[in-house]
Structure 1
Amino acid sequence: MFDVYRLPDDHQAIREAVREVCDARVAPHAAEADETGEFPKQSYEALRASDFHAPHIPAEYGGAGADALATAIVIEEVARACASSSLIPAVNKLGTMPLLLAASPGLKQRYLPAVAAGEAMFSYCLSEPEAGSDAAGMTTRAVLDGDTWVLNGAKRWITNAGVSEYYTVFAVTDPSARSRGISAFVVEKGDEGVSFGAPEKKLGIKGSPTREVYFDNVRIPADRIIGEPGTGFATAMQTLDHTRVTIAAQAVGIAQGALDFALGYVKERKQFGRPIAEFQGLQFMLADMGMKLEAARQMTYVAAGKSERGDADLTYFGAAAKCFASDAAMEITTDAVQLLGGYGYTRDYPVERMMRDAKITQIYEGTNQVQRIVMARQLLKD
Structure 2
Amino acid sequence: MKFKGILILLLFTGLVATAGKTVQEKPFRPSIMPYLKLQFWNVASRGVTSADEKAASRFTSYFRRGRLGLKGKVLPELSYNAMVSFDNLAKDGFSSTKGLMNAGAVALWSAYFTYDLSPKNDWLNLTGGYFLPHLSRESTTAPWTTSSLDKTENSCYLRQFVTGKANGICPGINLGGLGDLGKQTLIYNIAIINRQDAVSIMERNWSPVLLGHLMLNFGHKEFSKYNYCFSNNLLKKQTSAILGLAFSAQGKTDAFKSNQTISADATIYLGHFKIDGEYSVLIRKNNLEYNANCFMLRTGYNIFLKRNWVFEPTAMFEKFSSDENFNDVSFFDGSDKKLDVGVNLISMAKKIKVNLHYVHHDGEGKKNRYIKNETFPGDYVALGLQLII
Give TM class, smaller chain.
Answer: under 0.3
Higher percent of residues as strand: 2
Higher percent of residues as helix: 1
Relative to the length of structure 2, the TM-score reads: 0.26
Higher relative contact order (CA 8 A, sep 6+): 1
Relative to the length of structure 1, the TM-score reads: 0.27
